[in-house]
Amino acid sequence: MIAEHIAIEAIDVLLVDVPAIRPHRLSVATMNCQTLVLVCVRCSDGVVGMGEGTTIGGLAYGEESPESIKVNIETYFAPLLKGMNAARPGAVMAKLRGLYQGNRFAKCAVETALFDAQAQRMGVPLSELFGGRITDTVEVAWTLASGDTGRDIDEAEDMLARRRHRVFKLKIGSRAVKDDVAHVVAIKHALGDRGEVRVDVNQAWTESDAIWAAKRFSDAGVGLIEQPIAAASHAGIKRLTELALVPIMADEALRWPADASALARERCADVFAVKIAQSGGLLGAASVAAIAQAADIDLYGGTMLEGAIGTIASAHLFSTFGELKWGTELFGPLLLTEDILTEPLRYENFALYLPHGPGLGVTLDWDRIDRMRRNRTRGASIAMN
């Protein structure tokens, strides 16, 4: 039986600027505000799918920015997509990937919107399109990134008391290595066994820096080191992994599924950070996870500090993984001062709870989004029930 042709009629891209609850300090930038890139795909059957392609720190982190995502989708993707069959998201994305290079975040946003629409059409949660969820909750770590030791300790204590997070990742790499190590060790000592501490260096160190720090982290009980050196240095990551002082997680090195294959073949990490935007979409992220599982490499559900759309899309996919040993980092909406949903995502008992409705299972608050969007002159064009 041939599936009905359901045309893609329109694609809208919105930039929504939302202040952060506090400065979020990375090795490459400090974020005081997050720009959510929301993509709305309207279909001829009346179904509307939503996706998100949000980045971290603009061009300081990667080759795409919120502005480039918007321009490239509107200029290149949209003319190609209009009229294509929305009921065949895999075929649509294959065409898109075949014609246009790179643009992983933009492709992720469009693909998420297409799969959201398709799941709504079928009356099932998005997770059912990727094998079906195994769990209704995913554990969520919290990132401590103020850069102030006392403030970070207080923040972690508050999260533990509220039973919202018990795993803490520290963003380091912007200061001298010895200062970063002292900062991390002090926080771990303050939390003791009540909270797990991990670090993310965002490629800021040399290999010798990482070796020196890893010994001290191991002695202090730090549980994981994420991307300590340059993503291109597969040999260096492999040597750090083989030292076995602290488990090593690959993140920026996993730009495409092909990178996952290369890293797995050489056993260049103990853990893979799976990110839907970094992998070019849900399909790419699922491939990265499959490669890791086949190579007996552990999984971690990563984030690009997306808002509610990218976060819950990631959670739908992560819920289908056979094992998510290192949990997730899907705290993005909690870092923002305002929510874009009529009913916020549910964070309780150290976990994020997945909704059960069709598609992404969430409802956007368009009045609030319209108030925060950068260009408000087209607000009426994205109003939805």
Catalytic residue ranges: 171
Q: Is there a domain that residue 1 lies in?
A: no
Same domain flag for 177 and 262:
yes
Distance CA 315, CA 292 (A): 18
| pLDDT above 70 coverage of the chain, percent | 96
What size, in residues, is the chain? Answer: 385
- State the DSSP H helix or E strand holding residue 14, giving kind and residue range, or none if neither: strand 8-25
Residue 320's domain comprises 129-353
* CATH of residue 310: 3.20.20.120
Question: Does residue 182 sit in helix, strand or coil?
Answer: helix
Q: How many structural domains comprise the chain?
A: 2
Q: Which pTM was predicted?
A: 0.93
What is the tens place of the pLDDT at every residue in 342-362? Answer: 999 999 999 999 999 999 999
- How far is 382 from 163, CA to CA, in rounded Å? 37
Query: Using N-to-C axis directions, what is the helix angle for 282-294 and 104-122, rounded to 10°?
Result: 100
Q: What share of the chain is helix, strand, coil (3-state, %, to 5)?
A: 40, 20, 35
Model confidence over 292-332: pLDDT tens digits?
999 999 999 999 999 999 999 999 999 999 999 999 999 99
Do 258 and 292 reside in the same domain of the chain? Answer: yes
Q: Please indicate, yes or no, whether residues 118 and 138 belong to a single structural domain of this protein.
A: no
Same domain for 57 and 149: no
Contact 256, 276 (CB under 8 A): no
- Integer Cα distance of 24 and 351 in angstroms: 21
Q: Are residues 195 and 342 in the same domain?
A: yes
Mean pLDDT across 183-195 = 97
Residue 166 and residue 144: Cα distance in Å, rounded? 12
Q: What is the pLDDT of residues 100-148, one digit of tens each?
A: 999 999 999 999 999 999 999 999 999 999 999 999 999 999 999 888 9
DSSP 205: S
Q: What is the CATH number of the domain that holds 106?
A: 3.30.390.10
> 84 and 146: one domain?
no
